[in-house]
Structure 1
Amino acid sequence: MNTRDSKEILNLVTTLKEANTYLASSEEMSLELLEQVITNCLTASDNISQTLQTFGELDRYQAELATYQSLLKDFLAAISQAGELAYPAQAIEASLTKLTTKLSAKHKKQVVFLPYKASMWDSLASIYEAASADPSCDAYVIPIPYFTKDEHGKLKDLHYEGNLFPKEVPITSWQDYPLARKRPDIIYIHNPYDDGNGITTVFQTFYSDKLKQYTDLLVYVPYFVSLHERKHYEYALNKGIENADVVFIQDDVIKAGYQSVWKKFVQENPTYPKERLEKVLTKMVALGNPKYDALNKTNSSTYPLPNEWKKKIYRPDGSKKTVVFYNTTILDFNIHREKMWAKWIDVFNFFFSHQDEYTLIWRPHPLLFDVIKLMSSELAASYQQLVEQFKVAQFGIYDDSPDFYLAYTYADAFYGDLSSMAELFRKLGRPVIQQLVDYSTAQIPAEFDYTLVEERLAKQEIIREYELPLAKVPSFLVTVDSRPTATNYHFGLDIHRYVMNLANK
């Protein structure tokens, strides 16, 4: 039961108190009218009981409600026989006052997190940590099931990743927490697309328009962070943003991008109500993203190096190879297709030929294979073969774990497609190199300027592959301070405090 429901029940109890005062002060009243008023009061108290039962909280208030109903029923039965009897106003007032006191007691806010993919939990994790540490909250993590779709957009495979979340996060089954009955005060989501995603969809029960009915505050936090360099914000046109009560965006630059694409949408669709646009724009709050908070933990204490990784990252003499994190995305593969496929093979050949000097950690987008399956079954089979060949070759690490921060802890440089992953990695003060499909991976330009690359690194800017080719990464790293950059973000706590302020108003 959320705060709003508690207030609605309190309003009903106030009406019962007013009826009690009316009955106590009415000196002359017909038996028929008396019976009618008392019957109405009993019906109202039954409604209160049923509402509390719906929320699973009747036991807490059962004694006071039972006392109230017994007093009324006993009085009604007695007066029907005796014809005249003193009305027990004080006893009834006492039972209603006890009920009011219990209902008015400060309730813990019910805060529910509804992630769907475990690999995207980092976008909510630090908010959950803040909520679970807050004595005024009961926080629940409820991973929700989702479907992948076939090439025709039909639902295909059902997935549930509740068993993939960190061990320290207690999981509540989506079947054990009926949202419509529990009506939590706050619901957090990180999937805003409802039926608008061509690759996956959560159960319709968890679409944002449905969730909106179950809570006072529906909060959307993107499962990604955006690069300022990208300047594409069409993904912001989604139902989750439209239905949420508040939308948290990483910074003012990206917020402006979100707002601009919504304004353009309304210009192109003049029938869209202007007042709805204003609501969409004003609900956007630039207050960071918890994904940045996770960078605070990228250290060997939090992420000890697994033995299998250690064998590949360190040489027999104990010296460390140059570790490159390789990011491959859906967007770039969709754009370049055959060229990108050829680039992948070129990259793998480079690292295979230089495995004494480098270790490659390949982390494809978690839905990349699903997208390739939508393109063709033959291409999907070829991709699976490529993955198996990479694993068998043993010159790198294939990382499809839910938590990529282990790889970030030990990677010396980022290479590949630009995405959320690049935006996060550059905050660690290490090189982020954009791969170029038409650039030969082993190529070294005739003129190479370390100074330019150092300037880009100092500003946390993207470095193009021709500016710092892979063959030059080890020698460049020797020239710069390679000590890990410590971060101290606290966006999850900031978001939690902001939402709690809204919830308490």
Structure 2
Amino acid sequence: MRFSLFKYIKEMLETLIEAAEYITRSGNKEIIEQLLLDSNMILNRVENVLYENKESIMNPIIVDEIKNCNKQVSMILSCLYEESKYSKILSEYLINLKELPNSYKENILIKYHVVFFAELGQKWDSMNSVYQAFMKREDCEVKVVLTPIFRSVQSNGKVETDVIYEDYLTPMGIDFIPYEQYDIAKDLPDMAFISNPYESVTLPQFWPENISKYTKLVYIPYYTGLLINSDSIKAHCGLPIAKYAWRILAQSYEIKDMHREYSPKRGENVIVTGLPKWDYLFDTKNFPLSLTSNWDSKLKNKKVFLWNSHYDVTSSTSTIFEYGKLIVDFFKNKKDIALIWRPHPMTDSIFKLYLSQYEGYWNELKDTVINSENMILDTNKSYQMAFNSSDALLSDWSSIIPQYLLTRKPILLLKKPNVTDRIIDDSEMLISLQLLEQTDQWSGIEKFISNIKNGVDESKENRDEIIKKDLSSADGRIGEKVCSLLLKELQNELFGNM
């Protein structure tokens, strides 16, 4: 039986108890008669619902108990004006009626209906372990709805839109519903999960405000927060999701404290669980992926470096202009090292729509990598193969760094040259990236590559400290814990903390 229907029946049983208790106190026979007739109607309705959901009945005794109460109501009606019989049957009825909610809870199987709204394939890792945990439960029915993401920009008086709507779920064996075929107002799931908090990039039907009208909305962040500043406060606490989410998963208590201070619900809807996306790394380690022939031929018998670049060239953290060509030219045709370049998944759209003046540079880098003998442009939806195949990471300031930290492999944080101002203060850090090995010079990149080739890891202890301090909940089971916790919260709404 669907949770929502189960809840409805439970509320009707509680209404019956309230009516019976009122009857025992009332002397108005006309009101009593009407209440008893209403009780008959409700019990008949409950009996019909149980019949319609007979596959959910674990013990048919609950049906007999409903029928018995219904019979007693009819008997009370028949002797309404025979005080001795009336009082005795009414007393027995009230006793039996008060036992019904517990019997109902114990003998009816609840089926929880949940839906995941999935969009970019690169962000599915944020939901995957929660989805898998719900799929393993016999008391849950799970749906996935694939939704589009789009970006629009006005250029020369015309609005250009880049729409991303790709089926990355089928290759993973995940069935999904196209967004045009899903109506949440008809489906009425018990919970809905989203990882996209930005209304500007999706359709109105998938905005938090509109989803929350029909179900309990759960927000799973698609990225690991790195610091607390005005931008991150706005992203976490100033968007509609902070108001409309029933529950928001948080990576740490610092995030919850941020919500307590700045969000409209003052952190009441935030639960600290760690991020389900951290589970993905444990899947990566436990279930290594086989390389494609192209990858194998380019990477075999080489030290492999993963380069992660960001598209925001106007910021103080993106270094694709400063080091991009240097990195590609350095690796080109090397025999003992190889490069996997994994640019931010939105880079192509951003350069196409917003930074078209830099498209030539971007395309030249891509072509050089694609046509090389030892470099790969990684456009896979998942970063699993890149993480598995690489020996170390070169990265701009990015939320991918905490993910890579969990591989326990070396990391070099890239910084723009000649940027004298500190980007952040240590006290603002959510992940202590200041402890990472980092450089703002090309010579530092060369040194790091040389060290890795020679088996030298200068910052292992520092990385271990970051994991212990900031990623301690990453144990590969966050999705399972989230699933159990959210279902328990639903159950507590019905039964308290029993």
TM-score by length of 2: 0.70
Q: In the alignment, is residue 133 of structure 1 matched against residue 112 of structure 2? A: no
Match of 1:335 in 2: 315
Q: CA RMSD in A?
A: 5.0
Distance in 2, matches of 1:122 and 1:475, equals 32
Distance in 1, matches of 2:251 and 2:442, equals 28
- What is the correspondence of 1:434-453 to structure 2 with a 5 Å cutoff? 434-438=413-417
SS at match of 1:107: coil
Q: In the alignment, is residue 379 of structure 1 matched against residue 358 of structure 2? A: yes
Match of 1:304 in 2: 290
- What is the correspondence of 1:105-254 to structure 2 with a 5 Å cutoff? 105-135=108-138, 137-152=139-154, 156-164=161-169, 166-193=171-198, 195=199, 197=200, 200-201=201-202, 203-216=203-216, 218-228=217-227, 233=232, 234-236=234-236, 237-254=238-255
- Cα distance, 1:503–1:162 mapped onto 2, change above 3 Å: farther
Instruction: Tell me the CA shift for residue 38 of structure 1.
Output: 12
Distance in 1, matches of 2:129 and 2:440, equals 34
Task: Indicate if the aligned counterparts of 1:122 and 1:291 stay in contact, CA closer than 8 A.
Answer: yes
Q: In the alignment, is residue 287 of structure 1 matched against residue 273 of structure 2? A: yes
Distance in 2, matches of 1:17 and 1:428, equals 57
Distance in 2, matches of 1:6 and 1:300, equals 39
Aligned-partner residue type, residue 185 of structure 1: D
Instruction: Tell me the CA shift for residue 16 of structure 1.
Output: 8.6
Identity of aligned residues (%): 21
Q: In the alignment, is residue 326 of structure 1 matched against residue 307 of structure 2? A: yes
Unaligned runs of 5+ in 1: 23-28, 69-96, 264-275, 315-319, 440-456
Match of 1:8 in 2: 8
Task: Indicate if the aligned counterparts of 2:120 and 2:149 stay in contact, CA closer than 8 A.
Answer: no
Instruction: Tell me the CA shift for residue 102 of structure 1.
Output: 8.3
Distance in 1, matches of 2:204 and 2:271, equals 27
Match of 1:476 in 2: 451
Q: Which residue of 478, 483, 486 corresponds with 1:491?
A: 478
Distance in 2, matches of 1:390 and 1:364, equals 12
- Cα distance, 1:500–1:163 mapped onto 2, change above 3 Å: same
Instruction: Tell me the CA shift for residue 373 of structure 1.
Output: 2.3
Aligned-partner residue type, residue 310 of structure 2: T
Task: Indicate if the aligned counterparts of 2:169 and 2:176 stay in contact, CA closer than 8 A.
Answer: no
SS at match of 1:222: coil
Counting matched residue pairs gives 438
Aligned-partner residue type, residue 307 of structure 2: Y
SS at match of 1:469: helix
The C-alpha deviation readout for 1:145-167, integer Å capped at 9, x for no partner, is 22412213968344333344552
Distance in 2, matches of 1:49 and 1:182, equals 24
TM-score by length of 1: 0.69
Q: Which residue of 405, 414, 417 corresponds with 2:393?
A: 414
Aligned-partner residue type, residue 381 of structure 2: P
**Mean alpha-carbon deviation: is it higher for 383-392 or for 485-494?**
485-494
Match of 1:25 in 2: none
Unaligned runs of 5+ in 2: 23-28, 58-62, 68-98, 419-431, 468-473, 493-498
Distance in 2, matches of 1:241 and 1:38, equals 46
Distance in 2, matches of 1:378 and 1:51, equals 64
SS at match of 1:493: helix
Aligned-partner residue type, residue 504 of structure 1: Q
Instruction: Tell me the CA shift for residue 473 of structure 1.
Output: 3.0
**Mean alpha-carbon deviation: is it higher for 103-112 or for 459-468?**
459-468
Aligned-partner residue type, residue 395 of structure 2: G
Task: Indicate if the aligned counterparts of 2:126 and 2:195 stay in contact, CA closer than 8 A.
Answer: yes
Moved >6 Å (runs of 4+): 13-20, 36-52, 56-61, 100-104, 457-460
Aligned-partner residue type, residue 243 of structure 1: Y
Distance in 1, matches of 2:302 and 2:119, equals 36
Match of 1:401 in 2: 380
Match of 2:75 in 1: none
Aligned-partner residue type, residue 208 of structure 1: P
Task: Indicate if the aligned counterparts of 2:439 and 2:445 stay in contact, CA closer than 8 A.
Answer: no
- Cα distance, 1:251–1:389 mapped onto 2, change above 3 Å: same
Distance in 2, matches of 1:494 and 1:45, equals 38
**Mean alpha-carbon deviation: is it higher for 408-417 or for 340-349?**
340-349
SS at match of 1:151: strand
- Cα distance, 1:37–1:500 mapped onto 2, change above 3 Å: closer
Instruction: Tell me the CA shift for residue 474 of structure 1.
Output: 4.4
